């Protein structure tokens, strides 16, 4: 029983990490239709931002305030990655709307450039980020059932981000503009929406969310130039399974893959678990080619 | 939306291909190699890979090849080995060179990709006509270049511990054979920590072969293997594995994870509230350089098995560490493969001096019995299998990220790549 609960928590935790990493992609890929292979590299940018912030706190500020670096790191990683996303959109992505295959190739190239850039700046070895002390240890419920604070914290961040994105999309003017542009660009433009500004800000928000995910990932995983490549496959899978274009779909996609993968891994092995979850995804997509939550549009584009 | 959907499935297909091949890291990053190799080439521009067709010992120089991954996933580890080899070459040159000639390194980037390794090996042997090559890290890359070295009668000095069961006439193995690392480590653990072992490794050649050996040995020592898990390269979530470990309650974990996976594993191990006092781990792929990337706070108290540590107390090591840090920066650390790369250059130079020629056959013949006072202690080339006599050390990782020796063999251990002197190992080499 204990073990079951522990595994259930692990599954939820993996899902929350996936969701956090995929939320940005749900916006850039799901809503905007840009196949952004560099999404993983925005995660990496966020992770390195956290590393730099941590070093700054270590070096210039008293040890007593060190723990508060995580708040600064979370904010800055969002802003830095968002800013990088903004530049990328202005320079390159804006020329690629509606050209999915091209955007795939171009963003893949960008991801390689960013990886090599990180390697040149920070060196190829992994770097270490210390988690703030209040995230050490775990919430002990019983002998084996211990919920690490880091994972609970990441879960919390994922939920906050999700609510934030939801609020942005459905409760603000900006969100309404974004949805309008994504549904029918020409119509939105003719109604006076500045589409290129909406594009840029949406892409920046998506990239910023990736950066935020990167910051959270520093506490549980490796931080190196190729960090993003470890997550890119799973994040795309999350968005595709959930249904491109649907934020709530990404939640289900993340849950499906996270819980499914941990369960399969527990019953078999890590490699086999991965294979089985892929098989499930393939079968699922046979029956629901647009993902669990398909977005119905009246668009005539195809 | 239909178009969108088609593209989405294309992305999925690509993604799955990467992931299932277990090489999402490598595949993504291998292409990124070009700029790194360009950098290296410009650094060694005088070594001139452009003037490729000049014969090997023309004029006053002897060309030697260096073939490591300077980009891609393995660059983390291999770049430093390359640095150590260049340091040794520099030292030898300053001391007057080999046979009165200066050594001229030709550095090539294997880009963490086995096909590239093979291609670059061919280039070094056929175009550059190098006298010898120092290189490779993963067993897969070594196996990829092996036929090239054998068919062209080249010479490769391989600096990393490996799983054994191989002895090519064209390769000198400067790292540990299994009986110089894995076998004594398991003996040590079973005596000091207990009989129940959990095997955890990355899913590729080395961990699987190493664990075959461990399983045979465990049987012979009356130990019990309570779990065996392999994770794909680049695996990031170890919570499930840790649950399995907690359920199995081993006395210690034998860890052959490689690369980034170690970071995720040890961070999450600590988060789960596990300490080395509760369940000790012994790693064979974590050296000082990896410790820095994982974070010493996560690894403090865990054990490793190697032949050399930066803290190894020999006068040669003091000199080596000082020279390495002076050349590449105070914040750099030395470790076992780095030291082995450094030794390899000296061993080859000694063999050439003894042979009086850079001819591969003559060097090989002269190599047997050559001794070198290495930083790890005196190592000797075993002429029969071209491995080294090496001392074995178990170390405990400390809070500063260095490794303190807790146990070592009294003298250098004779290499036995096929474990032919161990009765329990019979039947392994035929696999």
**What is the pLDDT averaged over residues A125-153?**
84
> pLDDT band at residue A78, thresholds of 50, 70 and 90?
very high
pLDDT at B205: 81
Q: Which residues of chain B lie closer than 8 angstroms to A34, CB-CB?
A: none
Q: Which residues of chain B lie closer than 8 angstroms to A125, CB-CB?
A: 76, 289, 292-293
- Please check whether residue B16 touches A, CB under 8 A: yes
pLDDT of A3 > 90? The answer is: no
> Strand A146-148 and strand B61-68: pairing?
unpaired
pLDDT of B401 > 60? The answer is: yes
**What is the pLDDT averaged over residues B43-58?**
42
Shortest CB distance from A10 goes to which of B9, B239, B292?
B239
pLDDT of B343 > 50? The answer is: yes
Q: What are A147's strand-pairing partners?
A: A139
**What is the pLDDT averaged over residues B341-362?**
95
Of all residues in chain B, the one with the smallest CA distance to A243 is B5
Q: Do B260 and A244 touch (CB under 8 A)?
A: no
Contact B202, B256 (CB under 8 A): yes
Q: Do B295 and A128 touch (CB under 8 A)?
A: yes
Q: Which residues of chain B lie closer than 8 angstroms to A13, CB-CB?
A: 239
Q: Which residues of chain B lie closer than 8 angstroms to A6, CB-CB?
A: 243
Q: How far is CA A49 from CA A84, A118, A127, in A?
A: 12, 11, 12
User: Hunting for tokens 């060097």 — which residue is that?
Assistant: B363
Q: Do B25 and A229 touch (CB under 8 A)?
A: yes
pLDDT at B15: 52
**What is the pLDDT averaged over residues A206-230?**
91
Report the Cα–Cα distance between both ends of chain B, in Å, rounded: 53
Contact A85, A42 (CB under 8 A): yes
Note the pTM of the prediction, 2 decimals: 0.82
How many angstroms separate the CA atoms of A267 and A254, rounded? 20
Q: Do B11 and A35 touch (CB under 8 A)?
A: yes
For residue range B113-168, what is the model confidence (pLDDT) as tens digits? 899 999 999 999 999 999 999 999 988 899 999 999 999 999 999 999 998 889 99
> Strand B377-381 and strand B388-389: pairing?
antiparallel
- Please check whether residue B113 touches A, CB under 8 A: no
pLDDT at B43: 41
> pLDDT band at residue A145, thresholds of 50, 70 and 90?
confident
pLDDT at A184: 83
In this predicted model, which residue has the larger pLDDT, B335 or A33? Answer: B335
> pLDDT band at residue B41, thresholds of 50, 70 and 90?
very low
3-state SS assignment for residue A138: strand
Query: Can you say whether the dihedral through the CA atoms of B236, B240, B244, B247 is positive or negative?
Result: positive
How many angstroms separate the CA atoms of A156 and A148, rounded? 13
pLDDT of B45 > 60? The answer is: no
Shortest CB distance from A270 goes to which of B20, B35, B235?
B235
Shortest CB distance from B1 goes to which of A104, A130, A299?
A299
Shortest CB distance from B7 goes to which of A100, A224, A226?
A100
pLDDT of B412 > 70? The answer is: yes
Task: Using alpha carbons, select from B295, B298, B286 the residue that is nearest to residue B254.
Answer: B286
pLDDT at A102: 87
pLDDT at A221: 86
**What is the pLDDT averaged over residues B207-214?**
91
For residue range A162-184, what is the model confidence (pLDDT) as tens digits? 999 999 999 999 999 988 888 88
Name every residue whose Cβ is closer than 8 Å to that of residue A118 and which is 6 or more positions away in sequence: A41, A44, A45, A48, A225
**What is the pLDDT averaged over residues B180-201?**
94
> pLDDT band at residue A293, thresholds of 50, 70 and 90?
confident
pLDDT at B76: 74
> pLDDT band at residue B10, thresholds of 50, 70 and 90?
low
pLDDT of B20 > 70? The answer is: no
pLDDT at B36: 39
In this predicted model, which residue has the larger pLDDT, B183 or B8? Answer: B183
Of all residues in chain B, the one with the smallest CA distance to A262 is B240
- Please check whether residue B82 touches A, CB under 8 A: no
Q: What percent of chain B has pLDDT over 70?
A: 86
Q: For residue B322, what are its two tokens? A: 């000082």
> pLDDT band at residue B57, thresholds of 50, 70 and 90?
low
- Please check whether residue B274 touches A, CB under 8 A: no
Question: Looking at this predicted complex, what is its ipTM?
Answer: 0.84
> pLDDT band at residue A247, thresholds of 50, 70 and 90?
confident
Show the 3-state SS of chain B.
CHHHHHHHHHHHHHHHHHHHCCCHHHHHHHCCHHHHHHHHHHHCHHHCCCCCCCCCCCCCEEEEEEEECCCCCCHHHHHHHHHHHHHHHHHHHHCCCECCEEEEEEEEECCCCHHHHHHHHHHHHHHCCCCCEEECCCHHHHHHHHHHHHHCCCCEEECCCCCCCCCCCCEEECCCCHHHCHHHHHHHHHHHCCCEEEEEEECCHHHHHHHHHHHHHHHHCCCEEEEEEEECCCCCCCHHHHHHHHHHCCCEEEEECCCHHHHHHHHHHHHCCCCCCCCEEEECCCCHHHHHHHCHHHHCCCEEEECCCCCCCCHHHHHHHHHHHHHHCCCCCCCHHHHHHHHHHHHHHHHHHHHCCCCHHHHHHHHCCCEEEECCEEEEECCCCCEEEECCEEEEECCCCCEEEEEECCCCECCCCCCCCCHHHCCCCCC
For residue range B246-274, what is the model confidence (pLDDT) as tens digits? 999 999 999 999 877 888 999 999 988 88
- Please check whether residue B236 touches A, CB under 8 A: yes
Q: Any idea which of A274-278, B13-17, B89-93, B375-379 has the lowest mean pLDDT? A: B13-17
Q: Any idea which of A280-294, B48-62, B70-84, B372-386 has the lowest mean pLDDT? A: B48-62
For residue range B300-321, what is the model confidence (pLDDT) as tens digits? 999 999 999 999 999 999 999 9
Q: Which residues of chain B lie closer than 8 angstroms to A220, CB-CB?
A: 236, 264, 267-268, 271
pLDDT at B40: 41
Residue count of chain B, please give it.
Answer: 431
Q: Which residues of chain B lie closer than 8 angstroms to A137, CB-CB?
A: 273
pLDDT at B235: 87
pLDDT at B1: 46
> pLDDT band at residue A50, thresholds of 50, 70 and 90?
very high
On the CB side of B73, CA atoms within 13 Å amount to: 22
pLDDT of B53 > 60? The answer is: no
**What is the pLDDT averaged over residues B7-21?**
52
pLDDT at B11: 57
pLDDT at B39: 39
User: Hunting for tokens 């211990």 — which residue is that?
Assistant: A146
């Amino acid at each position: 029983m204990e073990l079951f609960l522990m595994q259930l928590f692990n599954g939820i935790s993996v899902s929350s990490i996936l969701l956090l990493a995929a939320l940005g992609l749900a916006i850039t890929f799901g809503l905007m239709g840009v196949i952004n292979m560099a999404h993983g590299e925005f995660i990496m940018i966020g992770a390195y931002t956290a590393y730099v912030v941590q070093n700054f706190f270590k070096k210039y500020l008293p040890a007593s305030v060190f723990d508060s670096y995580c708040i600064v790191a979370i904010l800055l990683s969002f802003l830095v990655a968002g800013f990088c996303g903004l530049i990328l959109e202005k320079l390159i992505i804006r020329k690629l709307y509606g050209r999915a295959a091209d955007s795939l190739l171009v963003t893949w190239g960008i991801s390689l450039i960013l990886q090599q850039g990180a390697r040149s700046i920070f060196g190829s070895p992994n770097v270490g980020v210390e988690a703030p002390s209040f995230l050490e240890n775990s919430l002990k419920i019983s002998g084996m059932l211990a919920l690490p604070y880091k994972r609970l914290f990441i879960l919390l961040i994922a939920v906050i981000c999700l609510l934030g994105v939801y609020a942005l999309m459905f409760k603000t003017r900006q969100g309404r503009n974004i949805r309008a542009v994504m549904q029918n660009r020409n119509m939105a433009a003719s109604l006076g929406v500045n589409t290129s500004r909406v594009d840029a800000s949406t892409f920046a928000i998506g990239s910023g969310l990736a950066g935020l995910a990167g910051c959270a990932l520093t506490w549980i995983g490796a931080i190196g130039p190729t960090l993003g490549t470890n997550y890119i496959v799973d994040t795309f899978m999350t968005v595709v399974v959930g249904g491109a274009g649907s934020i709530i779909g990404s939640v289900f996609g993340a849950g499906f893959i996270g819980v499914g993968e941990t369960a399969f891994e527990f019953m078999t092995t890590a490699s086999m678990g991965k294979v089985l979850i892929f098989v499930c995804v393939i079968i699922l997509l046979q029956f629901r080619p647009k993902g669990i939550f398909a977005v119905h549009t009246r668009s005539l584009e195809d | 939306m239909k178009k969108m959907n088609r593209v989405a499935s294309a992305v999925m297909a690509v993604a799955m291909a990467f992931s299932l091949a277990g090489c999402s890291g490598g595949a993504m990053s291998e292409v990124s190699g070009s700029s790194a190799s360009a950098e290296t080439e410009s650094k060694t521009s005088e070594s001139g890979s452009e003037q490729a067709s000049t014969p090997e010992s023309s004029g006053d120089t002897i060309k030697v090849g260096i073939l490591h991954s300077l980009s891609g996933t393995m660059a983390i580890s291999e770049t430093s080995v390359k640095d150590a080899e260049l340091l040794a070459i520099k030292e030898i040159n300053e001391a007057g060179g080999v046979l009165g000639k200066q050594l001229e390194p030709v550095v090539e980037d294997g880009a963490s990709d086995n096909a590239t390794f093979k291609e670059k090996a061919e280039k070094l042997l056929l175009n550059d006509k190098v006298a010898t090559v120092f290189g490779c890290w993963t067993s897969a890359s070594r196996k990829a270049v092996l036929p090239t070295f054998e068919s062209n009668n080249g010479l490769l000095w391989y600096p990393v511990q490996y799983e054994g069961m191989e002895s090519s006439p064209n390769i000198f193995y400067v790292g540990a054979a299994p009986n110089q690392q894995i076998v004594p480590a398991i003996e040590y653990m079973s005596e000091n920590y207990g009989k129940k072992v959990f095997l955890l490794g990355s899913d590729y050649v080395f961990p699987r072969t190493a664990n075959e050996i461990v399983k045979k040995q465990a049987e012979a020592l009356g130990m019990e293997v309570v779990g065996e898990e392999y994770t794909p390269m680049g695996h990031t979530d170890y919570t499930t594995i840790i649950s399995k470990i907690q359920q199995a309650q081993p006395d210690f974990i034998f860890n052959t994870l490689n690369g980034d996976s170690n970071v995720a594993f040890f961070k999450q191990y600590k988060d789960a509230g596990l300490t080395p006092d509760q369940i000790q781990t012994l790693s064979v792929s974590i050296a000082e350089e990896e410790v820095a990337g994982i974070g010493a706070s996560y690894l403090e108290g865990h054990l490793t098995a190697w032949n050399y540590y930066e803290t190894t107390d020999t006068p040669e090591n003091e000199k080596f560490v000082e020279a390495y840090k002076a050349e590449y920066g105070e914040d750099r650390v030395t470790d076992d493969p780095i030291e082995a790369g450094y030794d390899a250059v000296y061993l080859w130079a000694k063999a050439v001096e003894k042979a009086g020629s850079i001819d591969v056959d003559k060097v090989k013949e002269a190599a047997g019995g050559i001794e070198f006072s290495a930083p790890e202690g005196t190592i000797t080339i075993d002429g029969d299998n071209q491995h080294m006599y090496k001392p074995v050390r178990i170390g405990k990782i400390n809070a500063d990220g260095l490794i303190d020796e807790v146990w070592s063999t009294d003298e250098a251990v004779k290499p036995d790549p096929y474990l032919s002197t161990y009765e329990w190992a019979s039947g392994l080499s035929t696999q």
